[in-house]
Each structure stands twice: as C-alpha cells, then as structure tokens.
Amino acid sequence: MSALRRIAKTSVPMVGIAVALICAAPANALPTPSDLADVPSRTALSYEHVPTGTYVGSAEDNSARPGLSTVKLYMADYVVRFGDGSARDRDLAARMIQVSDDGAASVLDAKYPRAISSTAGEFGLTSTSRGSFWGDSYTSTADTVRFLAAKKRTDPASPVLAWMNSAAPVAADGTVQDWGTQQLADVTGSKWGWADDGSSVVASASIGDEFVVASNTYGSRSSQTDDVMAGLGGIDLTAPPTADPVPNLPSIPGLPSVEELLQMLSPR
C-alpha cells in the first residue's frame, strides 16, 4: 500500500508539469486568410473551415442579395427531410441541385412554399427570406456558408451535399457551370446561380472535405471568379491547425524528461 501511495504522490506533479509544458506551447494560427478586406464591394465572399469553425467574410458577407438558384439548397434540404418522401420529390430536388432545373424548383416551391423560410429559421439564416416565389428570394453568403457548414457537421450524408458533389457540367438551360468558388483548389462540389440575363448578378457555393465557401457578385461570372481567386486562391483551405513541437526545456534533476512524461501519460 505504501508503494502505491508514493506513486500517487509522485504522479500529481508529473501530470501538472506535463499540462504546463503542453499549455506553454503557442497555438498555431490556421492557415486561412485573416481578412477579405480587399474583395471589391461588388462581391460578397464567405468561407468557413468546418472542423474548427473558423470563419472569414468580406465586407458584404451579411448583405441580403438575390439568392438566385443557391436558395434551391435550402429548398432541397427541406424536401428531403420534411417532404412526403416520394420518389418524384426526391428526383425534382436532385435536379434542382445538379442541373439547377428551374421547373423542378417551381413545382417544389408550389408544393412546399414554406421550405425556404423554415430552413432559414432552423439554421439561423438571418439574411434569408422568400419572395413571392423561390426566384425572387434573398440570402447572404454568410447564410449559405452557415447552412452548408451545419450540414457537413451534423448531416454529412445529406443528399444535398451528395448532389453538389455530382453537379453536372452544364445546367438544364445550357449554362456551363464552372465559375466562382468552383475554381478553388480542393473543391468537391458546387451549386451556382445566375440572373435571367446571365450577367447582372451571379452566385456560387462550394464544399470541400474540410471547408465551405460562397460568393455573390453584382457582375459577370468572370468577375466573380477573379474576385474569389484574388481573395482565397492562394490559401490552403483544407489544413487544420498544426501542433507545435514540444519546447526544448532543460532537464530537471530527479524528474523525467518531457518525452518520458508524454510516454508515461499516453494511453496503453
């Protein structure tokens, strides 16, 4: 029994020393942009590193802008989780995301007119609102990122994310879907939106294994791509914070080294 008491007494300061040494190491900053202040006002841009919740947004990130076809993400999620479960609904929801089918969106919007507002309420999308129909609804890039990040954290098997990952290169109306956030490295899936004239306002939202990003531009598709790449193109969007090396401290007579402490405290 006395031997056990001696081990217990010795282990307390050892644990304290180990904790102190680990806490003494400075935290590494996530290699993401510290700000997006240089993004032109024509473009709203939002990014989140999902595992850590690190968020960065431009000056326009919370502004309510025409949601275009990005609001189909909110509609599809509602239909999948709260719809009648029919194969037809699921097929229409998939077409909304993969080929941005406006006809499919109109059918589902008429059947589930509360889909956008209900999703906004559930996920705290404060800049999102449905207009007279889905096509004149508003949202922000911050809201789009908030929604997609929540889906990746809490519902990673969501069909909505899978449909983004299998989006077609050409939309139902013949538009080539290849601009904006899609051009960032490590993107796995995207959803795009555009005005009827094709160039007055455009949007894109993308997901990667570790991040989500969204953009909305008053301008052309090429303008959005330029602004997105200038803001985030040179950044590693996937890397989490890396651990700092254990500090090289002098040995203390009678006490184990830092490496020995870590080995003693590691699970067996």
Q: What is the model's pLDDT at position 33?
A: 53
Residue pLDDT, tens place only, 77-93: 999 999 999 999 999 99
Neighbours of 131 (CB within 10 A): 13
Q: How far apart are CA 26 and CA 226, in angstroms?
A: 36
Closest CA to 126 of 113, 117, 114: 117
Residue 52 gets which letter from DSSP? T
pLDDT value of residue 68: 98
pLDDT band with cut points at 50, 70 and 90 for residue 238: confident
Q: Cα dist. 72→49, 56, 116 in Å?
A: 23, 24, 8
Burial letters for 42-80: b for 16+ Cβ neighbours within 10 Å, e otherwise?
Answer: ebbbbbbbbeeeebbbbbbbebbbbbbbbbbbbbbbbbb
* Residue carrying structure tokens 């254990």: 246
Query: In which band, very low, low, confident or very high, does the pLDDT at 263 lie, cut at 50, 70 and 90?
Result: low
pLDDT value of position 254: 62
Q: Would the pLDDT of 28 be above 80?
A: no
Cβ pair 162, 97 in contact under 8 A: no
**What is the C-alpha separation between 221 and 201, in angstroms, rounded?**
8
Q: H or E stretch including 117?
A: helix 115-123
33 secondary structure, DSSP code: -
CA 116, CA 27: separation in Å to the nearest integer? 40
Q: What percent of the chain has pLDDT over 90?
A: 72
Mean pLDDT of 21-26: 37
Which domains does the chain show, CATH number per domain? 2-26+244-265 (no CATH), 43-232 (3.40.710.10)
Provide the CB-side half-sphere exposure for 123 (13 A, CA). 30
Backbone φ and ψ of 66, nearest 5°: -50, 125
Pairing mode of beta strands 211-217, 65-66 = unpaired
Q: What is the pLDDT of residue 105?
A: 98
pLDDT band of 253, cuts 50, 70, 90 = low
Chain mean pLDDT for the chain: 84
